[in-house]
Amino acid sequence: MNEVYSINGPVIKVKNAKNFKIMEKVFVGKQKLLGEVISINDDHTVIQVYESTTGLMRGEKVYNSGEAISAVLGPGLLGNIFDGIQRPLYSIFEANGAYIKPGTNVDCLDMKKTWNIKMKVKTGDYIRFGQIFAVVQETSLIEHRLLVPKNVIGEVIMAKPDGHYSLEDVVVQVKDKNDTIHNLSLYQKWPIKEPRPIAKRLPLTIPLVSGQRVIDTLFPIAKGGSAAVPGGFGTGKTMMQHQFAKWCDADIIVYIGCGERGNEMTQTLDEFTELIDPKSNKPLIERTVLIANTSNMPVAAREASIYTGITIAEYYRDMGYHVALMADSTSRWAEALREISGRLEEMPAEEGFPAYLPSRISQFYERAGYVNTLSDSSGSVSIVGAISPQGADFSEPVTQNTKRFVRAFWALDKELAYARHYAAINWNLSYSEYIGDLSKWYNKNISTDFLESRQRFITILAEENKLMEIVKLIGKDVLPDDQKLVLEIARVIRVGYLQQNAFHKDDTFVPLEKQLRMMKLILYLEKSASNILKEGKAFSLLQKSNIFEKIIKVKYDIPNDNLDMFEEYYKIIDESLSQIR
């Protein structure tokens, strides 16, 4: 029997063991702490333990399980909140109160609850891995499609009728060509570190619309794409992830709180339960899976939380849904890798991070994609990963390595956050490589004006950036009037467009149509104002007319459901400018 030989925090060693497999799930000690085998040599086996090892003794037994650490996939995931190794926090709460005690053994999904399923196959049908064999209304928003598990291919020899079943009930039996019988129940297991297979990757041509102007307009992300949000503390990373999770047009949200604050996860849970999705009038939580491994929970489980989350995301993708996964924050995950690597006494690379950091990061982001699924539908997983760079220094390893594997980069800026300009995305440092792939969609579904106006915005902001260099040296007053106008229009864009108030009922989510109209209105103001200047009128007259302030407040003054009001504002611009003439 295998026994604990050495203990160092979450890392334990077992001597002279032969029957362990790499990445196998094991149970450690009397308390049956959950662990995973991470390295094996002829002398000893190294196991990382996902729970606190306080009180663990040398000589306690280590039990094999024979299988890899897996996610349990089935109805009941949505609306639930799990820790990093997919133990439902509500069940833990019921089992041992306010604190999470080590060795808590609870089912990942409620095995007793029954679900009303509708069968999609009948006896005699031929089915294979990835196909849909039954459906169940998981929440009022989402139909859960039960997929044939891995390695199952053959003829249905038994299919139960529609009706209520619990997760463990066998509803379908399949006989394969070797005459082996496979029992299909309502759930399946999938190893969290193994990507779920797909039929084919598709090009990314549709944006993931979030209603956040600076993202949708300037730095969009495609469905199936990946984006990184780096920012020092206090720059609003989490707020940004929340806004994105609330409003983006994905069907399913997987939100991973990885090594972050407990109060924040409570807030996410409260908010998502209360918030009503505008499209369906149902609480957002009905399309959301939350994973919370807060900073004080065991560090090894933090490492696993990212994989648990992405596996669940892929599972819903395989049903044909668009899934958006938020990971807050990937830096904590990288630090968990570093901590465990340090305990294993591996040779460190940059800043103590292990040499395999880049490959782990790429493996994670590469699990995003827009795909044809094995069930002949299409779905996507988009990833938005927050990064907490040490000292807000973007040259640190996690930011740099992530930059290589994501195509949208939303850099959060301390200065903007200090001035309470949210979302504090710095337009000079951020980029999106998706814009080319998405241009067709914008032209077809919104208007060809959209990208043109966007380009004009970028030009004005770049020009402002240049002019500010001068202004910093000699002040604004000495600039010629046309350049003063550029600065003023840039201010209108910054304050009236890029800055967005998450707590305002209309401004928190802005449809693309309104974004376009706002852009056009601002550009109309720019054109009219520059005409006035050309007629020889002084810029100070323009400023006095107060028209800029009026346009800045358009974001609040025109409700999302009354876009016709924009016409009035064109008139207001004309009128106030004609007074100057």
Residues 334-353 that bind another protein (CB under 8 A): 335, 338-339, 342, 345, 348, 351-352
1 interacts with another protein by CB under 8 A: no
| Cβ proximity to another protein, 58 vs 118, nearer residue | 58
* Residues 6+ away with beta carbon under 8 Å from 289: 77, 78, 79, 80, 82, 252, 253, 254, 255, 309, 312
- For the chain, the residue count is 581
199 interacts with another protein by CB under 8 A: no
> Which helix (H) or strand (E) element contains residue 38?
strand 33-40
Among 21, 32, 64, 93, binds another protein (CB under 8 A): 93
Among 19, 178, 263, 281, binds another protein (CB under 8 A): 263
100 interacts with another protein by CB under 8 A: yes
| Cβ proximity to another protein, 63 vs 556, nearer residue | 556
Shortest spacing between CB 471 and another protein, in angstroms: 8
* Whole-angstrom distance, CA of residue 397 vs CA of residue 393: 10
| Cβ proximity to another protein, 17 vs 221, nearer residue | 17
Cis link prior to 368 (omega < 30° from 0)?
A: no
- How many degrees, rounded to 5, is the angle at CA 505 between CA 503 and CA 507? 80
Among 179, 203, 279, 473, binds another protein (CB under 8 A): 473
β-bridge mates for residue 68, sequence order: 24
168 interacts with another protein by CB under 8 A: no
295 interacts with another protein by CB under 8 A: yes
| Sequence-separated contacts (24+) of 57-61 with Cβ below 8 Å | 57/4, 57/29, 58/3, 58/4, 58/5, 58/6, 58/7, 59/3, 59/4, 60/3, 60/4, 60/28, 60/29, 60/30, 61/1, 61/2, 61/3, 61/4, 61/29, 61/30
Shortest spacing between CB 253 and another protein, in angstroms: 17
Among 185, 266, 377, 560, binds another protein (CB under 8 A): 266
| Cβ proximity to another protein, 110 vs 314, nearer residue | 110
Looking at residues 29 to 68 of the shown chain, list those that interact with another protein (rule: CB under 8 A). Answer: 52-59
CB count in 10 Å sphere of residue 347: 7
Shortest spacing between CB 412 and another protein, in angstroms: 13
* # residues near another protein by CB under 8 A: 80
CB count in 10 Å sphere of residue 580: 15
Pick the closest to residue 243 from 507, 512, 562, 519 (CA basis): 507
Looking at residues 63 to 92 of the shown chain, list those that interact with another protein (rule: CB under 8 A). Answer: 81, 89-90, 92
Among 41, 66, 161, 474, binds another protein (CB under 8 A): 474
Shortest spacing between CB 530 and another protein, in angstroms: 21
Q: What are residue 560's phi and psi, to 5 degrees?
A: -60, -25
Shortest spacing between CB 89 and another protein, in angstroms: 4
Among 552, 554, 558, 573, binds another protein (CB under 8 A): 552
DSSP symbols for 392-449: G-TTSHHHHHHHTT-SEE--B-HHHHHTT-SS-B-TTT-EETTHHHHHHHHHHHT-HH
| CA distance to 55, 82, 138, per residue, from 107 (Å) | 25, 11, 18
Looking at residues 122 to 161 of the shown chain, list those that interact with another protein (rule: CB under 8 A). Answer: none
Shortest spacing between CB 329 and another protein, in angstroms: 8
Looking at residues 223 to 262 of the shown chain, list those that interact with another protein (rule: CB under 8 A). Answer: 232-234, 257, 259, 261-262
| Cβ proximity to another protein, 49 vs 319, nearer residue | 49
Among 1, 41, 97, 395, binds another protein (CB under 8 A): 97
Cα radius of gyration (the chain): 27
Looking at residues 365 to 424 of the shown chain, list those that interact with another protein (rule: CB under 8 A). Answer: 388, 390-393, 418-421
| Cβ proximity to another protein, 94 vs 162, nearer residue | 94
Looking at residues 487 to 546 of the shown chain, list those that interact with another protein (rule: CB under 8 A). Answer: 495, 503, 540, 544, 546
Biggest CA–CA distance in the chain, Å, is 94
357 interacts with another protein by CB under 8 A: no
99 interacts with another protein by CB under 8 A: yes
Pick the closest to residue 297 from 553, 49, 5 (CA basis): 49
